[in-house]
Chain A
Amino acid sequence: MKDDGFVIVGVRETPPPPAPRREPWYRGKPLFAGGVLGVIVLGCLLCGLFIPGDPSYMDLANASAAPGRAFLFGTDTMGRDIFSMIWYGGRVSLLIGVAGAAISTAVAVVLGAVSGCAPAWLDALLMRLTELFLSVPNLLLVVFLQAILGEASVLSISLVIGLTSWTSMAKVVRTEVRQLRSSEYVVAARSMGGGFFHILWRHLIPNFLSSIMFMVVMNVRSAIAAESTLSFMGIGLPLEVVTWGSMLSLSEKALLSGAWWIILVPGIFLVTTLLCLTSLGSYLRKAANRKERNL
């Protein structure tokens, strides 16, 4: 008899389960919007490389020329080449969008965090002030502020847009900070002597950033839209500063003369950019909601 007195018993060996198919990294991500936005942003940043001339050069002989070989997107009523204006104007429009969003985010984070950390009376005061701000029509505020600041420039218009669009983000920041401020690592940092800005920068912002990220992107979008609105109405940047908005402000004359390209080309670029930003923003919001919080 063979020596089989000692047999290993135990868990029955099972074949390893087939490896689950790896999800491709791009699944569920806004690839198309990101790609289009990337092309537009890169084109605006690098436009000096592929556009030789001065975008504001007025070729009066070719005013209101239709799109063709010489002028890809045509020229406007003052004879400026729309193709080069689109890229150079995009620089300014995107700059205003980013700067306006940055200013509004900074104001919202600081005010929201102060309100979240403050004692009840100061919190109530700040939040009522925020609601007061929120209830005044945005456009009215912008016009007032712009009137105070005087002649519009890229900087002043970003400042005005930034200073009028922080309210809803400040409310979100305040709610998040209320939750975070009693967590023990904040208490620990406080008992070690950490100041308000240390705690805000090291502990609070990293923890609530994901939940305001989509609002930041949406603020870029609304800042670009606000600049176009203002310029279109003629209370924004002056005509000689080329932006998508100031290009659109020529449209009333263009409509009368039947030059559709003057209004359509900047319009398409503007709407495409806004759509891409919206798509990115809603992706970020979904991603932030999906994540497990308060763990």
Chain B
Amino acid sequence: MDNEILLDVQHLTHFFPITKKIAVKAVDDLSFQLRRGEIFGLVGESGSGKSTVARCVMNLYRPQAGRILYKGIDTCDRRAFRKNRRMLQTTRQLIFQDSASSLNQRMRVCDIIAEPMRIQHITPPRGTHRAEAAFQMHYVGLDPSFLDRYPPELSGGQRQRVAIARALAMEPELLVADEPIASLDVSIQAQIVNLFKHLQQEHGFSFLFIAHDLAMVEFLCDRVGVMYHGRLLEVAPTEELFQHPLHPYTKSLLSAIPIPDPVRERARKLIPYEEEPGAPRGTLREVSPDHFVAE
């Protein structure tokens, strides 16, 4: 990992209008950086705006304010986006939460994996689209006999592997995964997270990993950001965050992790977190090297 910043999110803000006057602030003045080759975890409870961040980063939503710099290109700027469209569409890839709906059930697995190449008119490095799909499937641990199957014939874990293979077929530099393991059961979650770790070491892509499972984040990520109501409350290297959480919300979140030991689990106490109604909207401040807390 070097210190080159691949993705720089600056003051990102996104509202969802409910009526003309009321709007939901999904993401509110959020800033973070993602270095090249780093796994950055974004955690937070449901509705804290994690997925909105992912979709803004992937240009699926147009944020109301703020800038997203990818390799120094402002992707929210229409002109800059159009100029670098092909590069942006090939080097950034997205993995969804629910593989049942992110794969078209009327397409065969080999067509799904080869789809990005067909769209971008890239000649597959291994000859045919089919051979390339077989290679990518082997890479994510799937048997080539699945090539002619349809997604509903596969299990959840296998489907998610297909989705990963589709994303990796483009050799991305930035992989955004929006809760990729939330819809899987625990043993499959472990397999997929191990697969991510392995693939990241092989490919060296940067990885924005969104989850609400703290144990998985602790295992996989280099740095973690904690989100609450559309804001980042604490950003720190994983070990530092789990050892010395500073923000009360982070402490509360960490206290909610179940411990696989009945004695200690029974003694575990939840730390409740109440946001003070009049609390000022904190800005991130560096407390110790690389450890930022909202104050």
Contacts and interface: CB of A to CB of B under 8 A. Distances in A.
Interface of A: 183-185, 187-195, 198, 202-203, 206-207
A201 B104 CA distance: 12
29 contacts: A184-B98, A185-B101, A185-B104, A187-B96, A188-B94, A188-B96, A188-B102, A189-B119, A191-B58, A191-B59, A191-B60, A191-B89, A191-B92, A191-B94, A192-B116, A192-B119, A192-B120, A193-B85, A193-B86, A193-B89, A193-B90, A193-B116, A193-B119, A194-B115, A194-B119, A198-B119, A206-B104, A206-B106, A207-B104
Contacts of A190: 60
B115 A189 contact: yes
Contact of A202 (B90, B96, B98, B115): B115
Interface size range of chain B in the complex: 20 to 34
Contact of A203 (B58, B60, B98, B104): B104
Given A192-B119, A202-B115, 11 more contacts: A184-B98, A184-B102, A185-B102, A187-B96, A188-B102, A192-B93, A192-B116, A192-B170, A193-B116, A203-B104, A206-B104
Contacts of B104: 185, 202-203, 206-207
A70 B242 CA distance: 99
Nearest to A195: B119
Nearest to B170: A192
The DSSP consensus for interface residues of chain B is mixed
A184 B101 contact: yes
A94 B120 CA distance: 41
7 residue pairs, one from A and one from B, having the closest CB atoms? A193-B89, A184-B102, A206-B106, A185-B104, A192-B116, A184-B101, A194-B119
B79 to A, nearest CB: 17
Contact of B60 (A187, A202, A207): A187
A185 B89 CA distance: 15
Contacts of B115: 189, 192, 194, 202
Contacts, number: 52
Contacts of A198: 119
Interface string B177-207: 0000000000000000000000000000000
A185 B98 CA distance: 10
A295 to B, nearest CB: 8
- Chain A at the B interface: SS class: helix
Interface in B108-141: 115-116, 119-120
Contacts of A183: 101
Interface of B: 58-60, 85-86, 89-90, 92-94, 96, 98, 101-104, 106-107, 115-116, 119-120, 166, 170
Contacts of B116: 192-193
Contacts of B58: 191
Contacts of B107: 202, 206
B120 A193 contact: yes
Contacts of B102: 184-185, 187-188
Contact of B89 (A187, A192, A202, A207): A192
B288 to A, nearest CB: 37
A16 B22 CA distance: 62
A202 B116 CA distance: 12
Nearest to B103: A185
A49 to B, nearest CB: 40
A176 to B, nearest CB: 14
Contacts of B89: 191-193
Contacts of A194: 115, 119
Contacts of B86: 193
Q: Which of A184, A189, A194 has the most CB of B within 10 A?
A: A184
B51 to A, nearest CB: 11
A202 B118 CA distance: 11
Nearest to B88: A193
A193 to B, nearest CB: 4
Nearest to B90: A193
Contacts of A184: 96, 98, 101-102
A192 B107 CA distance: 16
Query: Which of B60, B93, B101, B104 has its CB near the most chain A CB atoms (within 10 A)?
Result: B104
A206 B112 CA distance: 14
Contacts of A189: 115, 119
Nearest to B111: A202
A281 B59 CA distance: 43
A194 B112 CA distance: 13
Nearest to A207: B106
Listed residue (A183, A187, A192) with the most chain B CB atoms within 10 angstroms of its CB: A192
